[in-house]
Amino acid sequence: MLDTHARKYINPIIELGAKLFLNLRLKPNQVTIIALLVGISTSLLLYFDMRIIAVVVLWLSGYLDAVDGAMARGSNSTSSFGTLLDIVSDRIVEVGMIIVFGIKFIDVRFNLLVLAISILMSMTIFLTVGACTEKKGMKSFYYQAGVAERSEGFILFSLMILLPQYLGIITNIFSILVLFTAGQRFFEAKKILD
């Protein structure tokens, strides 16, 4: 929801980063890899209880994740492989955090498993609709908006990191939002693909 509706407000900051990296002669896929490495370091920081730094690094990886797409569009170098790399990198960062939470907080492993399954279901619908539809948006594939998009995920992951005493509750809320989004996307897909 925030990615779809608030993008216009933060887009100037994203475009600034895109111009900076393009001036440094970096390619969008290189920035995607940097975003992935920064995102993975969030899990390491979380594992070692460096929670504030972990949240800052998580959001930095999210910023870089937005910048790489702006770079590709700004330099007319969008590619199907870049889209694949971006989406896979996002999931690696998310799975890394879920694994670390599962290692550190044994009592909420079932909640985390439900969250992982919810993300898998939502992303399966999202990617299948993107592959099956003729519609294109700003991105290189059809982007289905929903209640729980990347920014909402970052907010909830941040809360999970900062408030581990409420990890089970936050994880359950996260799962409900992701499943609701999966439902939204599924019913929208019925209209688009029928």
What pLDDT does 52 receive? 98
What pLDDT does 180 receive? 94
Structure tokens at 128: 């299948």
Are the beta carbons of 57 and 3 closer than 8 angstroms? no
Q: Position 135: which residue type? A: K
Looking at the structure of the chain, the number of domains it has is: 1
The pLDDT tens digits of the residues spanning 106-123 come to 999 999 999 999 999 999
Residues of the chain with pLDDT under 70: 1-5, 134-143
Which domain does 62 fall in, by range?
2-193
The pLDDT tens digits of the residues spanning 128-149 come to 888 887 665 555 566 677 788 8
What pLDDT does 149 receive? 84
The CATH number given to whatever domain includes residue 167 is 1.20.120.1760
- Report how far apart, in Å, the C-alpha atoms of 168 and of each of 98, 111, 163, 172 are: 12, 6, 10, 6
CB neighbours of 193 closer than 8 A, spacing ≥ 6?
129, 132, 133
